[in-house]
């Protein structure tokens, strides 16, 4: 299996590289923004034509949700155009493209959990650019898996877990949003899910059921609020003696913490389809917090 990984220094990309390095009979080419500008069609075409991967995993994205509201062109260049060029290059050589998307493609106002067939209605530039990327890759490549995820955290990059641990050392009291709900998702579990899918495509080859291509949801269980997530982080941090003193956590509303971009009130994703199709279970985010000293 030959795998091209974009966004190799990000939260998921770094986990992909680490896990794939341990896979036998796998050759990887891991690139970050300094190695490959995915917004350059010619650069993408050149590297894909030269390496000739049978799997491309796109972990590159413009994920700065608030900055996206003003960095509109950049958001669409990275979240729509780059994936399109990767999809076109994949189609040219018969490779499969695995592409990461987001819960932000939904309005977040549904009662209950979001399935893959629910209507999309992004509320900001980030979600709109990611949805445009989904549509672009599906139109351009016949072998596409889109993995929508939410509330990603891991050892690399910036995320909610790291922010909580940092603020917990600086403050005695923290106000945490309690009216937004979702499934925290460990980046290492996203990487493992993508690798499982890639291996299934590679092993089955031409025998891989084309009906399995399409959109899947993958995130963590149990669903919780940001406040509940923070509570668990500090419970684990106290158990592991990562913090000497746990700050007082206070529930606040979304309206108490205004941001340039609107956040979905409901980011709960239904992961049943990926379990039934590939045997991949939802991310166990509580287990992933058992080694907080690594964050």
Q: Which of 126, 116, 115 is nearest to 146 (CA)?
A: 116
Please check whether residue 81 is in contact with residue 39, taking contact to mean a CB–CB distance below 8 angstroms.
Answer: yes
The full DSSP string for 92-108 is: HHT-EEEEEEEGGGS-S
Report the C-alpha gap between 106 and 276 in whole angstroms.
23
Show contacts of 74-80: CB within 8 Å, 24+ apart: 75/125, 75/126, 75/129, 76/129, 76/132, 77/39, 78/38, 78/39, 78/129, 79/126, 79/129, 79/130, 79/132, 79/133, 80/129, 80/132, 80/133, 80/136
Active site residues: 126
**Cα 170 from chain centroid?**
29
In the numeric block, which tokens belong to residue 78? 């990275």
**Going edge to edge, which strands form the sheet with 224-225?**
224-225, 181-182, 266-267
């Amino acid at each position: 299996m030959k795998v091209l990984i974009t966004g190799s220094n990000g939260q998921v990309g770094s986990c992909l590289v680490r896990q794939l390095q341990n896979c036998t009979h796998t050759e990887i080419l891991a690139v970050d923004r300094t190695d490959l500008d995915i917004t350059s069609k010619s650069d993408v075409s050149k590297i894909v034509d030269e390496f000739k991967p049978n799997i491309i995993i796109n972990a590159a994205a413009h994920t700065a949700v608030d900055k996206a509201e003003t960095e509109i062109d950049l958001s669409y260049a990275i979240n729509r155009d780059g994936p399109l060029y990767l999809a076109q290059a994949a189609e040219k050589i018969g490779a499969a493209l695995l592409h990461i998307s987001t819960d932000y493609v939904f309005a977040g106002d549904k009662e209950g959990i979001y399935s893959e067939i629910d209507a999309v209605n992004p509320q900001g530039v980030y979600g709109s650019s990611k949805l445009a990327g989904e549509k672009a890759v599906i139109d351009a490549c016949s072998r596409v898996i889109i993995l929508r995820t939410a509330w990603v955290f891991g050892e690399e990059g910036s995320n909610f877990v790291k922010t909580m641990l940092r603020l917990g050392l600086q403050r005695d009291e923290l106000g945490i949003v309690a009216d937004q709900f979702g499934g925290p998702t460990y980046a290492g579990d996203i990487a493992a899910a993508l690798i499982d899918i890639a291996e299934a495509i590679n092993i089955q080859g031409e025998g891989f059921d084309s009906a399995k291509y399409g959109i899947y949801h993958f995130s963590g269980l149990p669903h919780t609020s940001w406040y509940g997530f923070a509570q668990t982080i500090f419970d684990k941090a106290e158990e592991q003696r990562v913090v000497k003193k746990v700050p007082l956590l206070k529930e606040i509303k979304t309206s108490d913490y205004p941001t340039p971009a609107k956040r979905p009130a409901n980011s709960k994703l239904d992961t049943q389809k990926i379990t039934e199709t590939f045997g991949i279970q939802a991310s166990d985010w509580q287990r992933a917090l058992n080694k907080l000293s690594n964050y």
